[in-house]
Copies of this chain bind each other. A is one copy, B any other.
């Protein structure tokens, strides 16, 4: 059960349909019908995904006549992006170290083969 906001955000992002819904909502609010159209999913499935996104605070629902269009809340996504961006430098440095290590190992192997 994630309790902190970052955990709720990452948990909500852990589904390709939910990410696609967020991408669509980034271009403007949409009803459940509009959201279901481009995806091969039922209205019920979209409603369920919207509930997860709403609980995680990534989406709010308005009330317009009989409709309840969904709208993106960008702030939690920006916070998640910030967390990853902050550590990106370290992640990339850790690649570089690994690549250097692999190159060193491969070079050592070649030297050994030549020596044989």
Number of interface residues of A (CB under 8 A): 37
- Chain B residue at smallest Cβ distance from A23: B87
For the residues of A in contact with B, the DSSP-based class is helix
Checking B19, B27, B72, B78 against A83 with a beta-carbon cut-off of 8 angstroms, the contacting residue is B19
Q: A11-B10, A14-B10 are in contact. Are A72 and B94 (CB under 8 A)?
A: yes
**Contact string against B for A residues 19-32, beta-carbon threshold 8 Å, 1 for contact and 0 otherwise:** 10011011100000
Residue A15 CB within 8 A of the other chain: yes
Residue A85 CB within 8 A of the other chain: yes
Residue A112 CB within 8 A of the other chain: no
How far does the Cβ of A44 sit from chain B's closest Cβ, in whole Å? 19
